[in-house]
Amino acid sequence: MEWCVSIPKVELHAHLNGSIRDSTLLELARGLGEKGIVVSSDVQDVIMKNDRSLSEVFKLFDLIHVITTDHQTVTRITKEVVEDFALENVVYLELRTTPKRNDSIGMTKRSYMEAVVEGLRAVSAVDIHFTPHDLDARTYVNSVNDTFHGTSRKKIYVRLLLSIDRRETTESAIETVKLAMDMRDFGVVGIDLSGNPIVGEWITFLPALKFAREQGLYVTLHCGEVPNHEEIQAMLDFLPHRLGHACCLGEKEQWMLKSSKIPVEICLTSNIRTNTISSLDIHHFADLYMAKHPLVLCTDDAGVFSTSLSKEYNIASSAFGLGKRELFELARTAVDFIFADASVKQDLTEMFNSAAKKLD
Ligand code: 5GP
């Protein structure tokens, strides 16, 4: 496990509100409990419960959103989540979140995202690069190399994806895409489609997703969390830049996926905890890995599922028999699938190349 922590890693599928530290959530719940807004002991029970079905997870998110959705808290959790990833040697993070509107506290989707960016600015425990303009390549590469030896301050590149929740209307989804376009200078690189997979229809989101792609934004889709084959087919036909999960694919869909070479964000613990896949023995990671399909290990919701990216690498090692060299290569190839620009890719590539020389 220690070794999995020590290697540089790339995280491409992490939801902000799923990645909050338990201690922060409990502290926030206590605060709201004192104001009589929630019953904090009930909240505590729900937060600490470990096994949840996929639909129970979405109920939990509704509760988390009650606890976290004000500007100050959004800023705090963003800062903490980035620092937590960087401290376990995640050197590049694509953090996704659903811009939220809450009229009662004067929150707009834009002000929500401004609070997220404020959180990135507030990061202090590590060095962060999050806009396309704050690149200082040589310093970054050199210091990350040192990080691999645990000698210097951790460094992390962060880029943002704006999520469209499947409960949203077409208009609301398009509003999110427009916001993403406006916020490119603040590190926004793409759009994600997520939320409860049994809610909403593909046709509702398609106009916004097409628009995003036409505008040069990257698109990743939560796909195949439930066996909705019509939707899986439509998602594969759309040819997004990446897919999340891709669990419940039929034989023909698996064949299409492999032919398409669309990179898949694999979230092992999440799939098992939500019972989307009953056991790691039958997880599609093994088949895709053997087929040399582009894959990246991710956490999904490190807080909700009590995991970390290092743990996910460790699980892949024990469940699928991957050795150190194979794990390192898995981390390194993830650089090919990031949504940041070529100069970031180049820096990360150099950094992984240099770390590879020091592998034991
Ligand atoms: P947020 O977007 O509020 O920062 O992060 C939490 C949200 O991400 C949830 O409300 C849900 O919309 C989405 N999400 C988190 N985990 C999952 C998952 O495993 N599957 C899907 N489909 N959506 C998820």
Q: Is 16 in the pocket of ligand 1 (CB under 6 A)?
A: yes
Task: Determine whether the shortest distance from the Cβ of 300 to ligand 1 is under 6 A.
Answer: yes
Pocket test for ligand 1, best of 11, 17, 188, 199 (most atoms within 8 A of CB): 17
Give the per-residue pLDDT at 150.
54
**Nearest one of 165, 172, 202, 170 to 62, comparing CA atoms:** 165
224 in contact with ligand 1, CB cutoff 6 A = no
Q: What is the DSSP letter of 17?
A: G
Give per-10-residue mean pLDDT for the chain (360 aa): 95 97 90 80 73 81 90 98 97 98 95 98 95 59 49 89 98 98 97 97 98 98 97 98 98 97 98 94 97 98 95 98 97 98 95 88
Report residue 323 CA to chain centroid gap.
Answer: 25
Please choose, from the candidates 210, 236, 228, 273, the residue with its C-alpha nearest in 3D space to the C-alpha of residue 57: 273
| pLDDT attached to residue 109 | 98
239 Rama class: left (phi>0) / alpha (psi -120 to 50) / beta = left
* Residue 78 CB–ligand 1 contact under 6 Å: no
Question: From ligand 1's centre to the CA of 61, what distance in Å?
Answer: 7
Q: Specify whether the CB–CB gap between 195 and 58 falls below 8 A.
A: yes
Q: CA-CA distance, 245 to 270, in Å (whole number)?
A: 9
What is the CA(229)–ligand 1 centre distance, in A?
21
Q: How far apart are CA 287 and CA 154, in angstroms?
A: 35
Q: Which residues pair with 300 in a beta bridge?
A: 14
Assess whether the C-beta atom of 222 lies below 6 angstroms from ligand 1.
yes
With contact defined as beta carbons under 8 Å apart, do 166 and 194 qualify?
Answer: yes
What is the predicted pLDDT for the residue at 37?
A: 78
Residue 138's pLDDT is: 40
Q: Report the pLDDT value the prediction gives residue 141, as an integer from 0 to 100.
A: 46
Residue 117, classed as helix, strand or coil, is: helix
Quick one: pLDDT at residue 139?
46
pLDDT at position 360: 62
Q: Which amino acid is at 338?
A: I
Question: What's residue 36's pLDDT?
Answer: 79
Mutation to probe ligand 1, out of 52, 55, 61, 95 (largest number of atoms < 8 A from CB): 61
pLDDT of residue 53: 78
In this prediction, residue 59 carries a pLDDT of 84
Give the C-alpha separation, 8 to 137, whole Å. 17
Options 168, 225, 253, 312, the catalytic residue = 225
Q: Quick one: DSSP state of residue 185?
A: G
pTM of the full structure:
0.94
What is the distance in A from the centroid of ligand 1 to the CA of 194?
6
Q: Which atom of ligand 1 is nearest to the CA of 274?
A: 19
Question: Which residue's alpha carbon is nearest to atom 24 within ligand 1?
Answer: 195
Known catalytic residue at 225: yes
Rounded to 5 degrees, what angle do the CA atoms 182, 109, 180 make? 25
Taking CA atoms only, the protein residue closest to ligand 1 atom 13 is 195
Residue showing tokens 């669309």? 262
User: Cα separation of 274 and 18, whole Å?
Assistant: 13
User: 265 in ligand 1 pocket by Cβ < 6 Å?
Assistant: no
Mutate to test the pocket of ligand 1, among 69, 194, 226, 243 (most ligand atoms within 8 A of CB): 194
